[in-house]
């Protein structure tokens, strides 16, 4: 299969008002050059060969083309010189900018968001994952339908056209909206099924761990070492898209469930976060997060900050974390986990339950990580709390009676109200029923 030749373009805003003028420029913690390096890895993951990278510096972004007419003319020359078939922008393009650029360059034009969506379309294996990706793509492409379908037909297929398919994108808005509604109904059924699965797991009170981290941090390699599962683990971004849950036994003989989840990335499209709500709930409902960081990366601090921000966005910011400093075999010398953690976190407000330096590839530090997980799960402080359970939902009430000290129970026509002293792990499992902590 032949690969597509791609040109990459970034934007750097200069001047005092640059940051306020366009939030789509590279963030302050990472340079435009580093951001383009990451974009090149994304492009390679999507199957493109990058011929050239360029950065345009402006005081303000162009409303018509993002980069200005002079840079567009320069890109036209580069497209012809390299015989490129796609130009990929590191910033999100407005529908108008994308149409103007495609008309001027006469090749396919994508932005970072569309590239990530394309990779997700390639990686989705389950029906759930495919529906989630299609929903995100349709929501992203809907405002770009005017003229875009014709442009895609003229410019051909390949990167950025996978997923819903050209024929769907060229239909009218009414049918697109109908398809979005149908997918959302299907995903609600999936969400209900996941809720049922979690309730069944809660009936057998096993602690749940979730692996989270920046894409390509080594989560799937660690997951395979923890569980022996054959999850795809390669050096490309978003190797894992569909969540996988496995059972493991810790050194203390404690039985726990571990889930591997999709990797986070800078500027993860909001459409994807919304579409993958059912999947990300595996993270939200976990008792402990293993936050896997590529400690060998020069961008580790920035990547960690983005993961922490995303966890806050999905409602998992308060869940206990162990910072897993992975790939230390690639760091010269004998790195100290405490020093690495302080450098990478850089924010005293985000202190994990502990930090462990490991290599998921070689097994270095693996036993220490298991011990740290055991120790963290053993700390389960009690607190007095109140719950409200719908009449007829016996499972959660049974869980509370099994693992907490019930102080008082009262009923009305719709609900059962319970005051109890419960450990933190049970309070997290029953958070949707909680009324108050005392």
- Provide the CATH number for the domain around residue 401: 3.30.70
Asked if 390 and 372 sit in the same domain, the reply is: no
* 34, two tokens: 């580093």
Which CATH number belongs to the domain containing residue 18 in this structure?
A: 3.40.50.11060
Structural domain contains residue 160: yes
45-104 per-position pLDDT tens digit = 899 999 999 999 999 999 999 999 999 999 999 999 999 999 999 999 999 999 999 999
Say if residue 129 is in the same domain as residue 104: no
228 — alpha (psi -120 to 50), left (phi > 0) or beta? left
Which CA distances in Å does 245 have to 83, 175, 194, 224, 260? 45, 36, 12, 11, 7
Last residue in a domain, options 186, 220, 237: 186
- CB-based burial label for 373 (10 Å; 0-12, 13-18, 19+): buried
The reply to whether 293 and 420 lie within a common domain is no
Is 191 a domain residue? no
In sequence order, the 6+-apart residues with CB closer than 8 A to the CB of 111 are 88, 89, 90, 91, 92, 93, 98
212 closest CA partner among 381, 352, 347, 36: 352
Residues 10 and 60 in one domain: yes
SS3 432: helix
Asked if residue 211 and residue 165 are part of one domain, the reply reads: no
Are residues 9 and 21 both part of a single domain? yes
Dist. CA 322–CA 309, nearest whole Å: 16
- Angstrom distances, CA of residue 365 to CA of 198, 304, 355: 31, 20, 11
CATH of the domain at 360: 3.40.50.300
Cβ pair 434, 427 in contact under 8 A:
yes
284 and 322 assigned to the same domain: yes
Residue 433 within a domain: yes
In a domain, 192, yes or no: no
Same domain, 17 and 140: no
Q: Which two tokens stand for residue 288?
A: 């402990």
Whether 225 and 371 share a structural domain = yes
Give the integer Cα–Cα distance in Å for 68 and 73. Answer: 9
Q: How many CA atoms lie within 13 A of 331 on its CB side?
A: 19
3-state secondary structure 46-93: CCEEEEEEEEEEECCCECCCECCHHHHHHHHHHHHHHCCCEEEECCCC
HSE-up of residue 390 (Cα within 13 Å, Cβ side): 3
31 within a domain of the structure (yes/no): yes
**Range list of β-strands (E), 90-150:** 108-111
Nearest to 245 by CA among 267, 226, 264: 226
Q: Select from 135, 158, 186 the last residue of a domain.
A: 186
Number of domains, the chain = 4
- Residue 200 lies inside a defined structural domain of this protein: no
Q: Which one of 329, 352, 378 terminates a domain?
A: 378
Would 201 be classed as within a structural domain?
no
Question: Where in the sequence is the domain holding 431, given as residue range(s)?
Answer: 382-437
| 350 and 242 together in one domain | yes
Asked if 224 and 296 sit in the same domain, the reply is yes
Give the chain's residues under pLDDT 70. Answer: 1-2, 15-30, 146-158, 160-172, 194-205, 229-243, 269, 275-279, 346-353, 436-438
Answer yes or no: do 23 and 132 share one domain: no
Residue 194 lies in a domain: no
pTM over 0.75: no
User: Among candidates 276, 260, 314, which has minimal Cα distance to 187?
Assistant: 276
> Could you read off the pLDDT of 143-163 as tens digits, one per residue?
877 654 444 444 456 676 665
């Amino acid at each position: 299969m032949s690969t597509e030749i791609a040109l990459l373009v970034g934007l750097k805003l200069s001047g005092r008002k640059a940051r306020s003028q366009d939030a789509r420029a590279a963030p302050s913690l990472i340079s435009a050059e580093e951001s383009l390096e990451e974009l090149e890895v994304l492009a390679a993951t999507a199957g493109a060969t990058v011929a050239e990278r360029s950065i345009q510096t402006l005081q303000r972004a162009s409303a018509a083309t993002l980069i200005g007419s002079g840079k567009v003319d320069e890109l036209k020359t580069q497209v012809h010189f390299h015989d490129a078939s796609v130009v990929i922008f590191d910033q999100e393009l407005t529908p108008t900018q994308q149409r103007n650029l495609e008309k001027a360059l006469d090749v396919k034009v994508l932005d970072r968001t569309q590239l990530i969506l394309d990779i997700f379309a390639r990686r989705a294996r389950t029906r759930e994952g495919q529906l989630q990706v299609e929903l995100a793509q349709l929501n992203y492409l809907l405002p770009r339908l005017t003229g875009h379908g014709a442009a895609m037909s003229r410019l051909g297929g390949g990167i950025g056209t996978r997923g819903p398919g050209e024929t769907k994108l060229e239909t009218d808005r009414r049918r697109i909206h109908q398809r979005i509604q149908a997918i959302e109904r299907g995903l609600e059924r999936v969400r209900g099924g996941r809720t049922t699965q979690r309730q069944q797991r809660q009936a057998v009170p096993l602690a749940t761990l979730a692996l989270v981290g920046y894409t390509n941090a080594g989560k799937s390699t660690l997951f395979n070492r923890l569980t022996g599962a054959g999850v795809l683990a390669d050096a490309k971004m978003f190797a894992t898209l569909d969540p996988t849950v496995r059972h493991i036994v810790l050194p203390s003989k404690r039985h726990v469930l571990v889930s591997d989840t999709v990797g986070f990335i800078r500027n993860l499209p909001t459409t994807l976060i919304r579409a993958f709500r059912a999947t990300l709930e595996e993270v939200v409902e976990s008792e402990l997060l293993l936050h896997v960081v590529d400690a060998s990366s020069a961008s580790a601090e920035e990547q960690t900050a983005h993961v922490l921000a995303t966890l806050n966005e999905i409602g998992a910011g308060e869940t206990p974390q162990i910072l897993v400093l992975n790939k230390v075999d690639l760091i010269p010398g004998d790195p100290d986990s405490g020093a690495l953690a302080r450098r990478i976190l850089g924010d005293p407000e985000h202190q994990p339950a502990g930090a462990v330096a490991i290599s998921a590839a070689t097994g270095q530090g693996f036993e220490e990580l298991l011990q740290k997980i055991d120790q963290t799960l053993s700390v389960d402080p009690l607190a007095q709390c109140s719950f409200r359970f719908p009449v007829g939902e016996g499972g959660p009430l049974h869980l509370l009676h099994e693992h907490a000290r019930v102080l008082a129970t009262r009923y009305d026509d719709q609900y059962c109200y319970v005051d109890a002293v419960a450990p933190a792990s049970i309070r997290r499992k029953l958070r949707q029923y909680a009324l108050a902590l005392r």
